[in-house]
Structure 1
């Protein structure tokens, strides 16, 4: 059943916020005015951030360039993107390097030449992020970006401990994400693992098979990827594109080639589906905020009206409101049920997170030790270190994602225990700390290769053969033979070879023990560093939840206190003024109620009209 159309004279959400703000100001409620200012900012925010993520060298930068028809993000066959780069609308081309210091809550913004972006955001710039979190902001006058779409090119996540933590931090803050995988092969296990994390962190994921120009059988790959998504029970759109064909079509003005590249189809999906969904959700959130503010205002008006209408029972009305105020006052105390739920839940969550982290990392350690037992670590130590770093990063990332989901569940439980009427807004919980924790983990210790020079091999053999020559030489000397004779030399060679093999086995066992100890120390260091960051992050989340619900409780207490005051003032009015005051309050109450109704009924239809007119 379709929604009924909204009359043309219905006010917009921005107008509703303005009119409610007038009521909040006239009734002396500055905290509600502040909330409405935040709602107005939400209503007017048309920026939709889309993060482009994927494994190393999947064509993320090329896709961003193709979507906006500008070579803004550096593309190279060898050098990779190392710094997240956001591209948004601007009347003139410009670029900034932004270094953010989370602890100081400050940032440094350095203008750079957009044509020199390659020097600042690729691996050519060297290691980044020592002083703080670094990202680039580029603004361009491109029609694709004019209506608020913001594309964020990110570093690849296929390198050990490199950038997966950065992308995990960006995903919860983004409105949508594009997950790239090129057409040369099906989804790999690391890609599916990262996709599961992305789906858990970002509400809108679109999978894109890139570089279809490199694979004639890309449709087969696309079908196989669909099967992987179905097997993993991940329901996301799956599209195929070629940035190279799109660029060639633009140069040749070939519309058929442009359709084959399918970049325009992806752009249409981002505009018509993703952007529309994001803006609709914002308007629904704004309507909820407007309704909440309206309820606080109506609470006071209704209390005064009740007192005005109760000629002999005004004292009873005041007493009921005072009882409700006392109940609201209890919400701000430490003994409140939601406070206890938050405290107990946070402590339990910290314990569960630490256990989960230890369990994941110890499993990685056991697998690494088995790997070491099956090989010579001196010969493949670099490969073992790379695998171990990737496995530790994956385990830590999974732990952080799981902790984030558990934190959101805790917020919902606290909200249920807090809410008096079955409704309480939830705060936004950011996922941070993963990058700092991974950077704090030291590298894997060096293990000797175990290779011996020719001279060392000869010396080991001579040490073993010396005893054999001497022993068998003495035995054969009893038969009248010389100390050094063919029999003693042969025995010496046999014992020398045996001694060399025994020494090699001992050195191999020693290298394995050293490698296992190095793995254990790395796992212990990871547990220590990540565990510390997890506890700190849980402390921040606990403070966010406490402050959020405390603020709601204070607003409720303030509204009830105003209701008590208004009821007392109404009861004290002379009889001849009560009717006039009741008419004024009834008119205001009807108008506020109508504004709340219009906000709830007009959010989605208003968005539909806006997109249709655009």
Structure 2
């Protein structure tokens, strides 16, 4: 079933929210009016964030440029993107560098010339984000972006592995993900691992095979990629694109080339994704409006019941008082949900920390096995690269698991607040682990162990001296000179043996130094990331606590207002009860009609934005 156009849905929901706000104000419920006003403002949010990710040099920047028909993201055969670039709608073309200060709710914005973006978002800029997280914000007047679609070009995660964790941190806040892998080779294991992690954090994934112009048998690559995705249980739309062919097609105005390039197909797919995201957002807002309507209806239905059955008024009020006491207990620190949250968070922190330690210790064991099987002096640079990738992979896996467990905990706690068959779960966003990874420091240097010719000669001479002297003295008994062929040969043999022994000792020493360096790095990683992980999960705990305390307060206020309205209605003289009953019944019918209408407007299910590669 196709999703309706988002604008009419938003207008209808806004109208319903406004009418319900009037009801909330008449019912003296400013708290619920505020919730409805927030829902009404959320309807104005049409922004949809699409994160474009992939390994180093897969054509992500070129793909974004092709989609917006502008060279906004720098493209180079050697120099890679090092800073995320946010491309959004703007009436004029502008570029801004944004630094989100670490631990602060503020940012530093610096306007730059869009033509100079290359010097700020690529490796030419050197180290970035020293004081916080840096990204570039580019505004463009493009039709694709006019509806609120925002594209985020990210650094590749094949060269600097710490960026893989940074990219993963973007996904819980992203509405959709586009994974790019070029047609020159099949999907690699790191790409499949990243896709598996991303699927846990973002439900809307699209896989794009880029650079089809570089491979004449790209269809075989697509078929192989499809098999790889199916083997790991990842079911995502797959599209084939060529930014170069698209650029040539635009220059030559060739419709056939445009279709072959696949960029327009991807753009249409993103439009469908945009519509589906807004439809889901509208359903959530409609559910919020309906929930607030139920809280308001609680007051009117109670009053109507008391008016219609005045003889049962005291019994009704007593039942409400018991419900109010139950709601009151929900706001206390001793409430069951508070205990569930505290126990769940404590268990979650312990599990996540144990998982992190286990993963990193396994990396350390594998590193020691690698050291024992090689000469670390010669392969230390490669070992360091492997170790950085493995640590980042372990931390990223731990990050994904922590987010999944946090969402499960939120769902468990929300079960204590089920209203009319529905429960409310807040959005959870976990900060990136790249700050902790950056704080780990570098791997200690291990000497190469290479010796100059003079050093080798001196070691050989030191070892051969004893052999020449010992065998020379023995041969003097036979009348031979101290230095003779026998003593010289013996010296050479003992010199070679001494050199091998010295080389073995040096290798053992290098391996011991390498293992100490690895253990030091693993210990530092555990220390830094554990602290960051605890902080993240404590933030989750505070978010959940504040959210559910607010839910409990709204429920308590609704019950308190129901008691007050019941008492007022019970005290009405018989002559006024029928008039009041008619007014309350009319208000209740209108309120429930608004709630039902909100659910009806937001009810259509989204279409799955599916696409497949060209045969």
The TM-score, its normalising length taken from structure 1, stands at 0.96
Q: Are residues 331 and 237 of structure 1, via their aligned partners in 2, closer, same or farther at CA, if it must alter by over 3 Å?
A: same
Contact 2:3–2:606, Cα closer than 8 Å, also in 1: no
Q: How does 1:357-396 map to 2 (within 5 A)?
A: 357-396=356-395
CA distance in 1, matches of 2:604, 2:517: 62
CA distance in 1, matches of 2:364, 2:537: 26
Partner of 2:612: none
CA distance in 1, matches of 2:108, 2:282: 33
* 2:310 partner SS: coil
Partner of 2:453: 454
Contact 2:59–2:210, Cα closer than 8 Å, also in 1: yes
CA distance in 2, matches of 1:218, 1:276: 31
1:316 aligns with 2:315: yes
Where relative contact order (Cα < 8 A, 6+ residues apart) is larger, the structure is 2
CA distance in 2, matches of 1:495, 1:439: 50
1:501 aligns with 2:518: no
Contact 1:337–1:418, Cα closer than 8 Å, also in 2: no
Partner of 1:214: 214
Partner of 1:106: 106
Partner of 2:285: 286
CA distance in 1, matches of 2:299, 2:144: 48
Q: How does 1:171-570 map to 2 (within 5 A)?
A: 171-272=171-272, 274-419=273-418, 422-570=421-569
CA distance in 2, matches of 1:241, 1:163: 25
CA distance in 2, matches of 1:251, 1:335: 69
Contact 1:433–1:533, Cα closer than 8 Å, also in 2: no
Contact 2:352–2:402, Cα closer than 8 Å, also in 1: yes
Q: CA deviation at 1:284?
A: 0.6
Contact 2:3–2:279, Cα closer than 8 Å, also in 1: no
* 2:76 partner SS: coil
Contact 2:276–2:606, Cα closer than 8 Å, also in 1: no
Q: CA deviation at 1:41?
A: 2.3
CA distance in 2, matches of 1:130, 1:583: 66
| Residue deviations 1:179-211 (CA, integer Å, cap 9, x gap) | 000001000000000000111101100000000
- May I ask how many residue pairs the two structures share in their alignment? 605
| Residue deviations 1:423-478 (CA, integer Å, cap 9, x gap) | 32101111214111111111110000001111111110111001101111111111
Partner of 2:610: none
CA distance in 1, matches of 2:4, 2:207: 35
Q: Are residues 433 and 62 of structure 1, via their aligned partners in 2, closer, same or farther at CA, if it must alter by over 3 Å?
A: closer
Q: CA deviation at 1:245?
A: 0.5
Partner of 1:129: 129
Q: CA deviation at 1:310?
A: 2.2
Partner of 2:151: 151
Q: Are residues 2 and 92 of structure 1, via their aligned partners in 2, closer, same or farther at CA, if it must alter by over 3 Å?
A: closer
Q: Are residues 84 and 265 of structure 1, via their aligned partners in 2, closer, same or farther at CA, if it must alter by over 3 Å?
A: same
Q: CA deviation at 1:604?
A: 4.3
CA distance in 2, matches of 1:403, 1:365: 22
| Residue deviations 1:565-607 (CA, integer Å, cap 9, x gap) | 1111111122212211111111111111001111111124599
Q: Are residues 263 and 9 of structure 1, via their aligned partners in 2, closer, same or farther at CA, if it must alter by over 3 Å?
A: closer
CA distance in 2, matches of 1:440, 1:10: 45
Contact 1:432–1:537, Cα closer than 8 Å, also in 2: yes
* 1:50 partner SS: strand
| Residue deviations 1:22-53 (CA, integer Å, cap 9, x gap) | 11122222221221122112222211111100
Partner of 2:13: 13
Contact 1:361–1:392, Cα closer than 8 Å, also in 2: yes
Contact 1:416–1:424, Cα closer than 8 Å, also in 2: yes
Q: Are residues 11 and 199 of structure 1, via their aligned partners in 2, closer, same or farther at CA, if it must alter by over 3 Å?
A: closer
CA distance in 2, matches of 1:545, 1:11: 31
Q: CA deviation at 1:418?
A: 3.9
CA distance in 1, matches of 2:261, 2:555: 56
CA distance in 1, matches of 2:310, 2:205: 61
| Residue deviations 1:304-332 (CA, integer Å, cap 9, x gap) | 11222222221111111111100111111
* 2:43 partner SS: helix
Partner of 2:115: 115
Deviates more, 1:218-227 or 1:367-376: 367-376
Q: CA deviation at 1:293?
A: 0.8
CA distance in 1, matches of 2:396, 2:529: 10
Name stretches of at least 5 consecutive residues in structure 2 with no aligned partner: 608-615
Contact 1:49–1:149, Cα closer than 8 Å, also in 2: yes
* 2:78 partner SS: coil
CA distance in 1, matches of 2:2, 2:279: 16
Q: Are residues 551 and 387 of structure 1, via their aligned partners in 2, closer, same or farther at CA, if it must alter by over 3 Å?
A: same
Contact 1:433–1:537, Cα closer than 8 Å, also in 2: no
CA distance in 1, matches of 2:18, 2:231: 50
Q: CA deviation at 1:302?
A: 1.1
* 1:87 partner SS: strand
Partner of 1:573: 572
* 2:209 partner SS: strand
Partner of 1:27: 27
Contact 2:431–2:536, Cα closer than 8 Å, also in 1: yes
CA distance in 2, matches of 1:210, 1:456: 54
CA distance in 2, matches of 1:95, 1:9: 33
